Chain A
């Protein structure tokens, strides 16, 4: 089990009558990517602002557990300046100095974190290489495309080699090409740093995060690995049986009839079957366990499926189960 790197205890933030974050208690482990997943306005950004010391909590505290802070348990706000300097934050909004070049931005922010000019420049150059911005090193930020600016925005959080990297909606507004680059880059970071990523995109959370904390209306609903979350609160697995290659117009309906004995409301068998476009999607709490019985029933009916895919439920399913709403609602 990895060491706990950061702990929040009962973090609460209120704005008048609105409680933006309510009693958030969370542990972040060294070397993991923790995804904070929730719809817009769920309290994700408020939470990370408190974690980074940019926002003073009304109650609770943030306890960083690295370096000297590990011993002292220094709250991030107040006397935790040395701790804050070990955090790299990539805000949701693009925050750059319009009239500085890419390299100047990185060098400058590196110097603000206490690096020497040459060292900051060297690191800036390396980071620009890593996110394919090397050819733009001498271009002013205002001349870059939105996707490039967002990539540079991300690099600004890394130039001082922080222990903890906090990325607020890093894929927001990215074109598909940049999204792939950024996603791969975050995954590469995870090997050497601890990363907190906020997102309202369940696909992003699923692909990037080692663990996902689902937040809604300022409350932490659940935190676990994406797989465990989907298994624990989702409606089980989905088995996709493809009959596209089979020369039988009635294959789908015959398959439905053949599988009907396997329905079981108690949860041990099939819970639902959807048929569409030559594909049968069989829902079951544990599809793997009943897969032999399914294949046997199909064979007995003289049906030979083209392909069989087993997939898990998505985090969207989990969110719906927890809140009764979709993430985008």
Chain B
């Protein structure tokens, strides 16, 4: 009977803490829906860019053929069993622009088809000696999607050439890694995500610190002293950003001590860490606005943490869900999450050796999102905790 009474009492308490109950119940279903949104076909479609420099050639019967174009079509024709495309193929004309897309991870692979491909295939088919230029695969080797895209694309190209020439690999393949991506160990690949993770954990500290002021009544004291929202939340936030930067520095120092080396300037890494911290502080304030107790803040913070971890590519890459394009740049669904840009910026700096110019978009996006999240956090907190009842 006691067990039953405790059972009912526990259910009653849960029912009366509705926000937490709802969060607990919808957590997994929401993620199921989100995963379904990532993979509408149930499988990933990998972004492949083709820089087709193939000049084409005339066949013996006088027809003009372009192996490059046929290879493009062959890549587009690759499908999963359910008919969904394996590769999302895009033609490009400028290698520099294509590499930017690779760095931004808007595509996983660039296939550069050489000018003499058709001619070389034709020569090989006729049994002549071939001095063929290679088909070049370019990509960020630390991008987990690169390997899959490269295997799928090179297999398709290889099959086409083999079918056209009836020879084993008459045209060579070359691989050109972006930046220092080829030299990165698996450990080094995870460091950018871990740095962002270090700042993400700050949302717990911020939310719990701020809610503690409300729960203990000290917030009332400060209200009586006519402390403004700006002073109160600005002061707490500045301290938290400092701790966030310290967490980033400590993480870098730890990684450095065991062999990690950055390809880009470290000051830029610290700037990215600081800006991410500001946005995370904003998220912490939003959590604090929804919480009455420190325990509640702790529990609620798990939800955005999981969201940020899974959807910012900090832990593993997620396919882009493009919403619209601005100035040629695709804006994705997960671009509203500050860590998305932090991860991208840190990947570029730490792995690809980018400087300030290479991450200016990410920094701008981080600055805007930080301002928006922080302003939202301050506004919500002022409405929920700082107004006279």
Q: Which residues of A contact B (CB under 8 A)?
A: 49, 52-56, 77, 81-82, 84-85, 87, 89, 91, 93, 95-98, 109, 112-113, 156, 160
Q: Contacts A53-B388, A56-B388 given: A95-B217 contact, CB under 8 Å?
A: yes
List B189-233 residues whose CB lies under 8 Å from chain A.
216-218, 220-227
Q: Is the CB of B226 within 8 A of A85?
A: yes
Q: Is the CB of B217 within 8 A of A55?
A: no
Q: Which residues of B contact A (CB under 8 A)?
A: 216-218, 220-227, 388-389
Q: Is the CB of A97 within 8 A of B388?
A: no
Q: Is the CB of B221 within 8 A of A84?
A: no
For B213, the closest partner residue in chain A by CB is: A97
Residues of B within 8 A of A56 (CB): 388-389
Q: Is the CB of B221 within 8 A of A156?
A: yes
Q: Is the CB of B218 within 8 A of A87?
A: no
> How many Å lie between the Cα of A106 and that of B226 in the bound state?
16
> How many Å lie between the Cα of A52 and that of B221 in the bound state?
11
Residues of A within 8 A of B217 (CB): 91, 93, 95
Select one of A77, A81, A112 contacting B222, CB under 8 A. Answer: A112
> How many Å lie between the Cα of A87 and that of B221 in the bound state?
11
Select one of B220, B225, B226, B227 contacting A95, CB under 8 A. Answer: B220
Q: Is the CB of B225 within 8 A of A109?
A: yes
> How many Å lie between the Cα of A156 and that of B222 in the bound state?
11
Q: Contacts A91-B217, A96-B218 given: A52-B224 contact, CB under 8 Å?
A: yes
For A13, the closest partner residue in chain B by CB is: B389
Tally the A-B contacts, defined by beta carbons under 8 Å. 47
Most buried by A among B216, B220, B221, B226: B221
Residues of A within 8 A of B226 (CB): 81-82, 84-85, 113
For B231, the closest partner residue in chain A by CB is: A112
Q: Is the CB of B220 within 8 A of A85?
A: no
Q: Contacts A53-B388, A56-B389 given: A160-B225 contact, CB under 8 Å?
A: yes
Q: Is the CB of B221 within 8 A of A109?
A: yes
Select one of A77, A96, A113 contacting B225, CB under 8 A. Answer: A113
- Give min CB distance, B223 to chain A, whole Å: 7
Residues of A within 8 A of B223 (CB): 54
Residues of B within 8 A of A84 (CB): 224, 226
- Give min CB distance, B319 to chain A, whole Å: 46
Residues of A within 8 A of B225 (CB): 85, 109, 112-113, 160
> How many Å lie between the Cα of A95 and that of B214 in the bound state?
10
- Give min CB distance, B388 to chain A, whole Å: 5
- Give min CB distance, B53 to chain A, whole Å: 67
Select one of A54, A87, A97, A160 contacting B220, CB under 8 A. Answer: A54
Residues of A within 8 A of B222 (CB): 112
Q: Is the CB of B388 within 8 A of A54?
A: yes
Residues of A within 8 A of B221 (CB): 89, 91, 95, 109, 112, 156
Q: Contacts A113-B225, A160-B225 given: A91-B220 contact, CB under 8 Å?
A: yes
Residues of A within 8 A of B220 (CB): 54, 91, 95
Q: Is the CB of B224 within 8 A of A87?
A: yes
> How many Å lie between the Cα of A84 and that of B225 in the bound state?
7
- Give min CB distance, A105 to chain B, whole Å: 10
Q: Is the CB of A95 within 8 A of B224?
A: no
Q: Is the CB of A89 within 8 A of B224?
A: yes
- Give min CB distance, B293 to chain A, whole Å: 15
Residues of A within 8 A of B227 (CB): 112
List 12 A-B pairs, Cβ < 8 Å: A54-B220, A54-B224, A55-B389, A82-B226, A85-B226, A87-B224, A91-B217, A95-B217, A95-B221, A96-B218, A98-B216, A109-B221
- Give min CB distance, A2 to chain B, whole Å: 25
